[in-house]
Amino acid sequence: MPRSRSAARRTRPRRRSDQAQLSLTAKSKARAFPAAVKKRPAANASKVRLHQSNGSELQTPPVRRIPWWVFPEHERAIAPSDSDGSARAVGSPSPGQSLMPPPAPPSRITIWISGGFAFPQVTRPVFAPYSPGMTIRQALARTGLIAFGPEGYMIAVSGVPVGGRVNARIQYNGYVVPAAMLDAPAEPNSTMLVELFYINADNF
């Protein structure tokens, strides 16, 4: 029994010496060939992650210039100037081409007719189209509601003859127009007020 224990004790130091030799050889190889030794990545090394869009970033579409033929003719106006300071036209075919001004709105004469208690059906505003050389009498005739005779007296209301029983008080741009001045020229975009009334109260 004592011999076996001593043999076991003798073999143990030999194993330790073998392990020490193996570790020494590994260290010597690492020093001689450092590139052959694989290094493990550190635990706290930063990881490279690809950027993934979550849809919050909105991409603005490119701005495209609208062709000049898309705009109607009356909407082609002058836009703010370019970076070089020269004025440009919205949708103009070429920067150097001159633009025609938009057409002016049609001229007209506004006529307010007040029929009162006698003719309430004709109480309304009427817009008579203006033409060069038009007179006040012609503007009133274009309403189709009232008509005056040669002497300036009213002869019909809504196409119905009144026989001199109805008269009218006419104001042109705030001024009273007598019957003798109905042939005076009218101006574009002017305003007239016509008030109808009976001449004799007994016939009302």
- Per-chain mean pLDDT for the chain: 71
Answer positive or negative: Cα dihedral of 7, 12, 18, 24: negative
Give the CATH number, domain containing residue 145: 2.170.130.30
Residues 159, 79: one domain? no
Confidence bin at 81 (pLDDT 50/70/90): very low
Find the domain containing 187 and state its range: 108-203
| Ramachandran region, residue 129 (left: φ > 0; alpha: ψ -120 to 50; beta: rest) | beta
Rounded to an integer, the average pLDDT of 46-55 is 57
> Which pLDDT does position 167 carry in this prediction?
84
> Which pLDDT does position 38 carry in this prediction?
58
Rounded CA separation 37/20 (Å): 19
Confidence bin at 77 (pLDDT 50/70/90): low
Residue 188 lies in a domain: yes
Rounded to an integer, the average pLDDT of 53-82 is 59
Q: Between the ranges 72-81, 92-101, 104-113, 167-176, where is the mean pLDDT highest?
A: 167-176
Say if residue 25's pLDDT is above 80.
no
CB atoms within 10 A of CB 114: 16
CB atoms within 10 A of CB 137: 19
Rounded to an integer, the average pLDDT of 137-158 is 88
Residue 84 lies in a domain: yes
Amino acid at 153: Y
Say if residue 69's pLDDT is above 90.
no
> Which pLDDT does position 61 carry in this prediction?
66
Rounded CA separation 154/163 (Å): 8
pLDDT in tens, 150-173: 888 888 888 888 877 888 899 999
| Ramachandran region, residue 163 (left: φ > 0; alpha: ψ -120 to 50; beta: rest) | left
Higher pLDDT: 190 or 79? It is 190
Residue 143 lies in a domain: yes
Residues 69, 145: one domain? no
Buried b (16+ CB within 10 A) or exposed e, 174-204: eeebeeeebeeebeeebebbbebbbeeeeee
Angle at 21 between CA 15 and CA 24, to 5 degrees: 145
Higher pLDDT: 25 or 115? It is 115
Residues 121, 164: one domain? yes
Total number of domains constituting the chain: 2
What are the angstrom distances between the C-alpha of 62 and each of 53, 54, 59, 65, 185?
Answer: 20, 22, 9, 10, 57
Residues 115, 168: one domain? yes
Tell me the Cα Rg of the chain: 52
